[in-house]
Amino acid sequence: MNEAGDKYSVPASARYTDLDTFLADKVECDFIVNATMDEMHYETAMKTLNAGYNLILEKPVTGKKEELLEIAKTAEEKGLKVLVCHVLRYTPFCRVIKEILKTGKLGRVMNMYLNEHVWYGHFINAYVRGKWRSEEACGSGFLLAKCCHDTDLLCWLNNDTQPVKVSSFGSRSFFTEENAPEGATQYCYECPHKDSCMFDAHRLQIEQDFIPFYTWAGLNKPLDEITLEEKEEFLKKDAYGQCVYKVQGMDIVDKQCVTVEFANGTLATLNMVGGTSKAGRFIHLVCEYGEILGYIVEDKLVVREFDLRKKDGTSDGWYDEKVIDISKEVDTGGGAGNAIAGHHGGDYFLMHDAVRYFNGVSESVSVTKIEDSLNGHFVCYAAETSRKEGRIVTLDEVKNS
């Protein structure tokens, strides 16, 4: 608290250590940012809404349908606004896709394919050794915790209709004890394979210092004040120092696919993989009269539109192709500075649009009102039921259960 307060010159009287005291003081503000851990969202969101505050709420809203609906209902009854932090919607990359679809030039979306590849450093630090490694601890599985951004995109890009059926397969098949090298120990520091294992904790957490604000949070010290000796001792007793194949309490899947059928016949597929060499999201939409595809880390979109005026038909067909360089096409409005890099620009534009939305200035095409975030969460709930029970699940079943 004091580190942030000093950095941003927050007066001592405005530094709070608990939500209840803040709410009791009836501090005047346009909105509150709720960035608590997933399992705390419901309690803190309800307190905030009942106190009369507009809210920016981190995703996922909650792993429980009843809590999700109650938050949405409370906001509606009190006339308050809740934005959910689905930052992908706000990226210039995804916003341009939505704006192209809204022109109607490509017609109705017929098929959607999305994937998310989670870089192995991120996956290990967050979902193998990290605080999201347990479904019970974080209140949801890998799909909702990491990829509700993507299920939200599926529903938002096709929100002229509704998702109706979901099926899903997924498992944890790589980061399992069966794949550990023979003789591997529980902690890396004493393991005979530590010099050859690519996931050795000392190499990842100390030499490479992957995502340090995750790894060293348990030491409760500013990162620049933590000594090498403290880090080494910490890794001898914390999950961040354990063998990735043997981490205690880790039950999150490392890969999952989701298929969604919409009421208008659109089919959508999402594939997520944890532990890839390179992070990134790919999208390919096939519409009635063309298609859109792109890899978000490249900041470019390929748009193809059917065109019979093109020369003779070949195996490639007749179409007009345009490559959109997002970095050159999108007006950032100036002043974004380095912030434009956060989540491919999503962080900056979420806050930019939120300020305008909460002040009644405008409502962007990306605005993530909680009522428009429900379907993306319902798809996650349905997918997890499908994965665990091995059956197709309808959205009506999820909503009415």
- For residues 182 and 192, the answer to whether their CB atoms sit within 8 Å is no
Pick the closest to residue 149 from 287, 272, 325 (CA basis).
272
C-alpha angle 313-315-316 in degrees, rounded to nearest 5: 80
Domain map of the chain by residue range? 2-84, 87-175+253-400, 177-241
Strand 267-276 versus strand 280-287 pairing type: unpaired
pLDDT at position 316 is 63
Strand 393-394 versus strand 163-171 pairing type: antiparallel
pLDDT at position 9 is 87
pLDDT at position 313 is 55
pLDDT at position 338 is 38
Structure tokens at 89: 């919607």
Distance between CA atoms of 336 and 352, rounded to whole angstroms? 10
Distance between CA atoms of 327 and 205, rounded to whole angstroms? 33
Distance between CA atoms of 323 and 331, rounded to whole angstroms? 17
pLDDT at position 317 is 67
Pick the closest to residue 127 from 37, 240, 216 (CA basis).
240
pLDDT at position 275 is 87
pLDDT at position 339 is 40
Which residues are bridge partners to 163 per DSSP? 262
Which residues are bridge partners to 195 per DSSP? none
pLDDT at position 330 is 60
CATH number of 2-84: 3.40.50.720
Please, which residues have CB within 8 angstroms of residue 90's CB and are 6 or more apart in sequence?
Answer: 345, 346, 347, 348, 349, 350, 353, 364, 366, 368
Distance between CA atoms of 393 and 52, rounded to whole angstroms? 37
Distance between CA atoms of 314 and 111, rounded to whole angstroms? 23
pLDDT at position 315 is 58
CATH number of 87-175+253-400: 3.30.360.10
- Chain-centroid distance, C-alpha 392: 24
**Average pLDDT for consecutive 10-residue bins of the chain (401 residues)?**
80 89 92 91 96 95 95 97 94 94 96 94 91 83 90 95 97 93 96 94 92 91 93 96 94 94 97 91 96 92 84 66 83 44 80 91 90 95 96 96 84
Pick the closest to residue 354 from 55, 18, 66 (CA basis).
55
3-state SS class at 215: helix
**Cis peptide leading into residue 222 (ω within 30°):** no
Distance between CA atoms of 241 and 331, rounded to whole angstroms? 45
Pick the closest to residue 153 from 385, 344, 358, 327 (CA basis).
344
pLDDT at position 1 is 59
pLDDT at position 341 is 56
Please, which residues have CB within 8 angstroms of residue 184's CB and are 6 or more apart in sequence?
Answer: 191, 192, 193, 197, 243, 245, 246
Distance between CA atoms of 101 and 285, rounded to whole angstroms? 10
* Eight-class DSSP state of 242: B
